[in-house]
Structure 1
Amino acid sequence: MVETRTEEKPYPYYCLEPDMNKNMKQFLNFEKIKEELGKPSIYNNAIVKIKNEDEQEVKNFLVNHNYYSFSIYKKQLPIRENSIFDFKDCLEIYEFDSILRNNLQKFTGDIENLVKASLINSLCSHYEGELQVGECYLDFSIYSNSENAQEMIKTFGKRTYSSAQSLPIKHHIKNKEGYLPLWVIVPELTFGETTHFISLLHEEYRKKWIHDLFLTKEYYAKEVALYPHIISSATSWIRAGWFIRNRSAHYGRIYGLPFQIVPPTFYAPTIRKLKALKLKKKDDNKDLFAFMLSIKQVLLCHDSIVQHEWDIFIDEIHSKLEGSEILSPDKMGFPDNYCRFLLINEKPINEKQSIKLQACFTWKND
């Protein structure tokens, strides 16, 4: 029978109070926003003007979009001799950032589902302990140590409690006496909780899972000499997907973002080509390009439809960048011929799409 327990634990928080020195910035109305946009930026000297005929459209935009979040896009405008820009130039960056965020949220969601499904299949296929297969997550032997086992089992319990209204959980609480199989409980975890679960597993189970997810796929299976590299790098690729997923889900900026987390590992054949072309070094892995390469490495394990959708997304990025004087590949760490490295298939499924991607897939002579 399911049992509920509570723990008294200190919960850290900031003690917020009024600023008695009155140093907080003032709220800006529309006229003040116009004035602020018209001042040269200390980052790129950009001055942003709003045309009289565009004022109502801009006002409508700012009703639905927080200016304090939007103002960062002024700093992302290119440095150029003519430093006066139109408000629509900022809007172009904002809209491109939305394209990046929405698509990356979709693809990292695909990765989240892939990771969870593969983890369930791998653990249940390889578990030979004393418990029922569906209860393997309760067996301390699958974890690297007992402390990690206790920590993760508590996490499972907390997540189950917070998901009590989820139909599968509700069904098992009501009709199965609260005994939850792995395939019911893992889908309720966040992506972060799932990656943490993986990190706490005994090395034997973690390596078997990576083998099942990556090394059984055609793209990786033939690279026998790279198996140790793939096994050691795979979790960094998935962690990169988790970071992008989390940032996208909270509407965080992607374009021009400096990535301040542990960076992913380049896939060895890819970094060799990048270095040979003098496009990247091994430690140039703290930008969007490196994180998107990691997402691609995981999507190579997904089905052909998702891979095709990814290639269409890369083509859309290429089209936007090629047709713009405002957007810059450098802001994302994109090198020359970035399509060569980000695309999965040179020949897409759709013939019309193939014609579009032919221009994108420009190969530089080695």
Structure 2
Amino acid sequence: MNTKEPELFCRQVNKLIEHGCEITDYEQAIMILNKINYYKLSAYFLPFRDNDGNYKQGTTLLQVYKIYEFDRKLSAFLYGIIQKIEVFVKTQIAYYHSNKYGALGYLDHSNVADKMIEKHKKLIDNFNTEVKRNKELPFVKHHIDNYDGKFPLWVAVELFTLGNTSQFYSQMKTADKKVIARSISYITQTECTYSQLESCLRCLTTLRNKCAHFGRIYYSRFKWFPSLPYEEEYKAYARGRNFIYLYPYLYIMKVLYPSPESWNGVVTELAALIEEYSSYIDINCIGFPDNWEEQLSRE
């Protein structure tokens, strides 16, 4: 099997120039490629490529670098919001489930939907693996030493990823999912059915993982279409699409944000970030309509 050979930074710059990228400061270009892997940066050139694989006229390395900067800041911004939602959802699930089924009821396969028992077994196996992997963490060690390795659900969720949380919710009995969805809706002041919540958590997990692992958000396509309360508005956006960009995932955050009274401040902060890079980015590459601030703001 043939393997590509590594290239010196100067050759990487020359390669960009050969493909039509405008570089006015050669040394600056070298410094950029010292900080960002050429392969990683090349993904940000996607909107600027023509059918021959070259860059469209007027494409500059500075613009692509600024898009990369914007993408990193956007990713960190989104990750912070997702973390708040994750803590909130875990709290709601742990509170309801442990009060109904007991502290260790989450381990009992009879407390999930019948068709989900096998998936639940895998989830618990994965949880036990996480316990072993994190046995030196103070709270894990404390429960191993003092409680025979038994973790009540409100402790166990600290080892759950958002993906685990999404899976656990999807495995619950419908009646339980409905109660949790109503509780979340009451706090967020946005009606969200259990099926919509299930869809939103699955989609949010995809975005969370992309943010956590430094994946590209800008011009990135998402295959999961979230089921959302904003039916007509969202249907108009999704109609005829076989993929979506970021924008609908902001709706998820609006629906699930645990402090609705401060959500408009989040929108303002996002608007400031977009304005900072407005000379370099195209909001269509993240799926934002022109009136996105109006749509995302709460009344």
1:33 shift after superposition: 1.4
Residue in 1 aligned with 2:225? 263
Q: Are residues 330 and 181 of structure 1, via their aligned partners in 2, closer, same or farther at CA, if it must alter by over 3 Å?
A: same
Residue in 1 aligned with 2:208? 245
What residue ranges of structure 2 are gaps of 5+ in the alignment? none
Residue in 2 aligned with 1:289? 247
Matched, 1:99 2:73: yes
Instruction: Give the counterpart of 2:237 among 280, 300, 307.
Output: 280
CA distance in structure 1 between the partners assigned to 2:265 and 2:204 by the alignment: 17
CA distance in structure 2 between the partners assigned to 1:143 and 1:26 by the alignment: 52
CA distance in structure 2 between the partners assigned to 1:176 and 1:319 by the alignment: 53
What residue ranges of structure 1 are gaps of 5+ in the alignment? 1-18, 41-46, 128-132, 222-226, 346-366
Residue in 2 aligned with 1:114? 88
The question of whether the paired residues in 1 share the 8 Å contact of 2:188 and 2:255 is answered with no
Q: Are residues 157 and 96 of structure 1, via their aligned partners in 2, closer, same or farther at CA, if it must alter by over 3 Å?
A: same
Residue in 2 aligned with 1:74? 45
Q: What one-letter code is carried by the residue in structure 2 that aligns with 1:241?
A: L
Residue in 2 aligned with 1:219? 189
Q: Are residues 186 and 309 of structure 1, via their aligned partners in 2, closer, same or farther at CA, if it must alter by over 3 Å?
A: same
The question of whether the paired residues in 1 share the 8 Å contact of 2:177 and 2:194 is answered with no
CA RMSD of aligned residues (A): 2.5
Structure of higher RCO (CA pairs closer than 8 Å, 6+ residues apart)? 2
Q: What one-letter code is carried by the residue in structure 2 that aligns with 1:236?
A: S
Q: What one-letter code is carried by the residue in structure 2 that aligns with 1:257?
A: S
What's the TM-score, normalizing by structure 1? Answer: 0.72
The question of whether the paired residues in 1 share the 8 Å contact of 2:10 and 2:30 is answered with no
Which structure shows the higher helix fraction? 2
1:66 shift after superposition: 0.6
Matched, 1:315 2:271: yes
Q: What number of residue pairs does the alignment pair up? A: 292
The question of whether the paired residues in 1 share the 8 Å contact of 2:49 and 2:56 is answered with no
CA distance in structure 1 between the partners assigned to 2:188 and 2:37 by the alignment: 46
User: 1:96-127: CA deviations, max 9, x gaps?
Assistant: 11121111111111111111111111212333
Residue in 2 aligned with 1:193? 164
Matched, 1:33 2:6: no
1:302 shift after superposition: 3.2
CA distance in structure 2 between the partners assigned to 1:302 and 1:106 by the alignment: 14
Q: How does 1:116-135 map to 2 (within 5 A)?
A: 116-127=90-101, 133-135=102-104
Residue in 2 aligned with 1:5? none
> Percent same amino acid at aligned positions?
24
What's the TM-score, normalizing by structure 2? Answer: 0.87
The question of whether the paired residues in 2 share the 8 Å contact of 1:289 and 1:334 is answered with yes
